[in-house]
Structure 1
């Protein structure tokens, strides 16, 4: 066999092997790039805050015991809907999540500093509407303040200052103390808890108890 031809054949074989190795390295790099690129994309989750909570998973339905609350904000706000809140959040924060108040909103009877409660309905009336009128709804906070309870009793958990002053023995100062107390301590569990408010003793309570409810 011609030695020169043998050398040329070995040289071409070596070159082919080097080309195959180079091609294999390139394929490995491309495969690794595609694999890790897709994995990073799949592992990325975008969470939007401040929009209505349309769905809940099974764990979130136990929210009240875990510090997560859901409130329904309606009426004169930019984006009415159900919003996820944290325990200790205030009414004004729920309003902010709903896009804020509209120009027609009437906040005269609204206690924006009150803590929200799980399942609460916060209905913001428009100017010219009266609390509890058709279309305005009611809430567990002071929005439904002027609505009298059955039998014309005043609900001490929802009444605003004006409504509270309809109770015998309650003036502007005492009405504000009642509002401040429930804001700091939550709603009254029973009417007798009203005696925990500064300035309301046994005698004063006796005059009030026939006109109040919770």
Structure 2
């Protein structure tokens, strides 16, 4: 861009020859435009020189941290797995099969999962019996004979092979009490809240100390305190 300026009589105005055209401007305007043009080209020159001197560093992505899971993080998962047990329901139910339940759920829940009883099922079962391990529940038929002191409609087959019975408290009272001096471990597990380990402890105590003189003596067995005794006292005898 070619331009030049010269002053006429008016000191406040200047004539500029801008690409062959004469333009009259105020002196202040000409000065401003001149400074602006100089600044413009100065900035362009600086940017060009800066771009030539810049070395671009390509930022390499940092590898993702892969840390081994802490033991504390793994505990909830392991705990969750341990809270679930598997129960194989067979016999006189509508939908026999394997069902997953939470520890502490009762037999009635599992029977519901299996579609309920068939018409031929012996319903003499303690439906509020809580389950804490993988077991097999075999619901018996009405016509099936029983040799236990308390007739039961259900066999609970534990992982260690021990077979226990589960009957209703009402039938336990009318059908006969369990003699804690003569009952074996399998028969003792028919009592509410008595599992295989506690039943074995009762038998071991009896063999080491002799027969129980009264039903309250069963509280001398490890694992049986007043609360558990209150659950079973109406279903046991020493005679």
| Higher relative contact order structure (alpha carbons within 8 Å, sequence separation ≥ 6) | 1
Higher share in strand: 2
1 or 2, which has the higher helix percentage?
1
TM-score with structure 1 setting the length: 0.42
